[in-house]
Amino acid sequence: MALLMKPFKSSGVGLKLGAVTDFHDFSIRLKWASGNRRRYARFLVDNERLLTTPKSEVVDLGGFIPDCETASLIVAEARPVVGFHGGMLPYSLDSEAAKRRATRFDEVWCSVRLDLDNLSNASSMLKQQLDLQRDSIKVEMSLIEEKAKREADKATPSIHRASKKLERKLGSETRLLERGYRKDLTAFSKTTRKLEIDLKHHRQQETKFKLEKEKREKQGDKFGKDFWARELRACRRKIAVIEKRLSRDGENANHLRSQLVKNLEDLKAGYAEKISFERQAVDRIEKQRDQSIDALKEEMLQLEKYTTKITDDASKLIDLKQQEMRRLGDFVVPWKIREPVAISVPFYLARYSSRAETRYSIIPPVKVETDSSRLNRAAFRLVGLEGRMTDIFKPLDTTLSDMIVNDVSTNLTADVLFALKADEEATRLSLLSSARFQQTVKKGLKEIVEMRLLSQSEASKIEERKTHWRM
């Protein structure tokens, strides 16, 4: 792992989270290539072959990439400024400062990585424990259900026998009770029938005595009339007595019947309660089973509730740690090295000035050759770390270009001192006034005229105006 430093950052700035995105997919080797104006120009010269490679043999990195002709012009104009005529000038980074910075970064990285691993392990362990507890509770619930089923199956025959015995006893006592009441009711029935016969007889006598009285009264037999009148009154008194006895006997019979019904109901209720109590043994077993299972379910819910809360909190912390890892990952590239190294990203800074304005253009890292042998040689020259290259040199991702453009553009517009420093560090080149540029424009205009995209007169006017261009 190598620490990636942004351009134009002095050693005192240190780590700063900025507009860097994701470098985990990068496997390119980078080294500080531009610390001042001369080193910046020397970097261009050292990478002349990369810049002048035909387009068919390069990989497009995206972003703003100079074409081969422009790259050749930049190198040609930078050569006399640098005073470099061949070979590769050595350039060494402040290794001690880089090592301290990279070591400190590595400590922070390891600390966050350890926290993230610990939180992940804790969350995983919590989930495993919850699964174990859930499985244990399910097993316990199954055991409770099996035990309740065995007890219910075991108790059912005895309950059935006891219920049958109670039902037989109920039938026996019911018959005894009905027999006793039936005897009394039979006696009442006989008395009632006898009284009804007497009542019928006295009714007949009443009618007879009444007719005899009326007959004597018509005959004028006062003695006969009085006699039958006394007989009639005596007969009516007997009828009243008999009716009273019949009424009383009827009430007593009804009372006996209601008492019989009540006693039968009480007897049946008592035995029904006993039978129900016997049969409730299974219900009690099932109720106890349901209570135990409900308690276990409640316990499971509580476990899930608290475990979920803890794992949610851990997940939030994991998200925070992952964000920290991503922010830290913005500063690193995968690189097999023997010791911590700090790397700065090389780039080209073009400056356009006129009376009205000064404008900068950022040209991101160069294209890379795809041929293996040339690519490795170019890689060694680019990063200046021969003997340390262990992976295959690959082209940069557009995210790195975006990072450079955004970071430098922001600093150029927001920081005056930064813009002054950038202007001081830049190698001033007047490409538009160079002979090679004149030849490039002339060649390009000729090709456009031959393609009949431009007339010869218009091309001549453009050649006349190009002498007024300034950079």
233 in a domain, yes or no? yes
- Between 136 and 68, whose confidence is greater? 136
197 in a domain, yes or no? yes
What backbone torsions phi and psi does residue 361 show, to the nearest 5 degrees? -130, 135
Task: Kindly state the average pLDDT of the residues 386-405.
Answer: 42
104 in a domain, yes or no? no
Helix-helix angle 435-450:68-82, to 10 degrees: 170
Q: What is the pLDDT of residue 332?
A: 54
342-344 and 2-5 beta bridge pairing: parallel
One domain, residues 280 and 367: no
Which of 21-35, 263-277, 411-425 is most confident? Answer: 263-277
One domain, residues 8 and 83: yes
CB 78 within 8 A of CB 436: no
Helix-helix angle 68-82:37-46, to 10 degrees: 130
Task: Kindly state the average pLDDT of the residues 358-366.
Answer: 52
- Between 386 and 206, whose confidence is greater? 206
One domain, residues 292 and 163: yes
Instruction: Please count the other Cβ atoms lying within 10 Å of the Cβ belonging to residue 381.
Output: 16
348 in a domain, yes or no? yes
Task: Return the amino acid letter for 325.
Answer: M
Assess whether pLDDT exceeds 80 at residue 132: no
Using alpha carbons, list the distances in angstroms from residue 320 to 19, 131, 313, 324, 327: 18, 26, 11, 6, 10
Task: Return the amino acid letter for 379.
Answer: A
58-59 and 368-369 beta bridge pairing: antiparallel
Task: Kindly state the average pLDDT of the residues 436-462.
Answer: 74
One domain, residues 58 and 194: no
221 in a domain, yes or no? yes
Rounded CA-CA distance 4/232 in Å is 142
Query: Which stretch of 140-154, 194-208, 306-320 has the lowest confidence by average pLDDT?
Result: 306-320
CB 6 within 8 A of CB 407: yes
- Band (366; pLDDT cuts 50, 70, 90): very low
Give the total number of structural domains in the chain: 2
* Residues shown for the chain: 471
Q: What is the pLDDT of residue 287?
A: 78
One domain, residues 25 and 48: yes
What backbone torsions phi and psi does residue 344 show, to the nearest 5 degrees? -115, 145
Assess whether pLDDT exceeds 60 at residue 461: yes
Q: Give the structural domain span for 68.
A: 2-89+341-429
- Give the helix/strand (H/E) hosting 131: helix 95-219
Spatial neighbors of 419 by CB under 8 A, at least 6 apart, are: 360, 411, 412, 413
One domain, residues 290 and 225: yes
- Write out pLDDT tens, residues 94-103: 445 555 555 6
82 in a domain, yes or no? yes
One domain, residues 145 and 263: yes
One domain, residues 82 and 151: no
Q: What is the pLDDT of residue 49?
A: 40
195 in a domain, yes or no? yes
451 in a domain, yes or no? no
One domain, residues 324 and 368: no
One domain, residues 231 and 324: yes
Task: Kindly state the average pLDDT of the residues 118-126.
Answer: 67
Strands (DSSP E) found in 108-247:
none
Query: Which stretch of 187-201, 267-281, 326-340, 375-389 has the lowest confidence by average pLDDT?
Result: 375-389
Q: What is the maximum span of the chain, computed from C-alpha positions, in angstroms?
A: 186
Supply the CATH number for residue 214's domain.
1.10.287
CB 82 within 8 A of CB 91: no
What backbone torsions phi and psi does residue 359 show, to the nearest 5 degrees? -130, 140
Rounded CA-CA distance 286/98 in Å is 75
One domain, residues 360 and 315: no
One domain, residues 39 and 133: no
Task: Return the amino acid letter for 48.
Answer: E
- Band (27; pLDDT cuts 50, 70, 90): very low
Q: What is the pLDDT of residue 428?
A: 52
